[in-house]
Amino acid sequence: MAAAEAAAVVLSCLKPDPAPVPESAGTAAATAATSSAMAAAAAVAAAARTGSEARVSKPALATKLLSLSGVFAVHKPKGPTSAELLNRLKEKLLAEAGMPSPEWTKRKKQTLKIGHGGTLDSAARGVLVVGIGRGTKMLTSMLSGSKRYIAIGELGKATDTLDSTGKVTEEKPYDKITQEDIESILQKFTGNIMQVPPLIILSRFLNLSLFLLPSSLSVSLLYFASYSALKKDGQRLSALMKRGEEVEAKPARPVTVYSLSLQKFQPPFFTLDVECGGGFYIRSLVSDIGKELSSCANVLELTRTKQGPFTLEEHALPEDKWTIDDIAQSLERCSSLFPAELALKKSKPEESNEQVLSCEYITLNETKGEDDVIKTL
């Protein structure tokens, strides 16, 4: 029923009796009845308008979502992996846009691309750069830019993953280490240096004798697997190891540390402020510092405070801001952070009535290191 018709019905039902009534009571009663009727009619009309707006808003939001294009940043908390966080972001956007909805399933499909550049471990938090639409093509430039971290290291314990999530493999005394000792060696890890990526020996099996096992069950010697994002032929080393394939340890490679300072020392914990280039491993740095101090160390906490032009305080959207409107505003603000050659050209307006959202799952191979992975959904 239309809003006007509903209002008319309500008015007719609540219209006061035309019979004369005493002035003192009748006037007040009539006024009250009329006011009630008008309020009810207004409520019905508002409800009708709200229902109509709701039917229009979802397609409009879907159209706006599909038109988003650029690069922005989100705040990744500890716990989820970068890929899991990207899926969470995607799901929130799809839900807000009401996609996919049955009424759109027969219409033209439009692919939404969304990806992240620069993986953070599940135990780490901080800036995670996200590309949406054609902005996914800009993510590669994020890998070559500088990154900044606040890392809390723990002296006296080494783990198989070089951070607090791993199994303790070694313990050494640290009680004689001073703040001056740490500060004096930081220069060795600043500038253009060589660094060995963090690797872990998962298992070592010698070939078993045919006298013990059938040849079909003989086991080859397995060497090293990585807990990092390092890849071989586009596949993670850890995944190769799980399939029983042989993986060789990676050699030291050149990396760049732009600045490195000790922020706090409260044994056994020390806090570092590190600005580095792509392909650098904070876990390896902390472990190497422990060794240089004739002890050992692992990463207890890790926060990325900057990636490229994006900072945690100024640009990273918390989860309560993962909305289509907030991301659109962030894309607009962040567009000025990039040089002109990286700026996205304006695209043609999308056909608002001919779009259905589908998701494209692509993994790009521009992988440089632990924090240098692009994943596009």
189 burial type by CB count under 10 A (0-12 exposed, 13-18 middle, 19+ buried): buried
Q: What is the DSSP secondary structure assignment for residue 17, as one 8-state letter?
A: P
Give the active site residue among 121, 160, 371, 372: 121
CA distance linking residue 17 with residue 257, whole number of Å: 87
Residues 6+ apart with CB under 8 A from 216: none
CA distances from 65 to 111, 305, 350 (A): 11, 28, 11
CA-angle at 349, arms to 344 and 351, nearest 5°: 140
- In sequence order, the β-bridge partners of residue 155 are 297
Residues 34, 41: Cα–Cα separation, whole Å: 10
Secondary structure of residue 265 in the 3-state scheme:
strand
Which one-letter DSSP state was computed for residue 163? B
DSSP structural state of residue 348? P
Per the rule left: phi > 0, alpha: psi between -120 and 50, beta: everything else, 228 is: beta
CA distance 210 to 176: 53
CB-count exposure of residue 71 (10 Å: 0-12, 13-18, 19+)? buried
17 is catalytic: no
List, by residue number, the catalytic residues.
Answer: 121
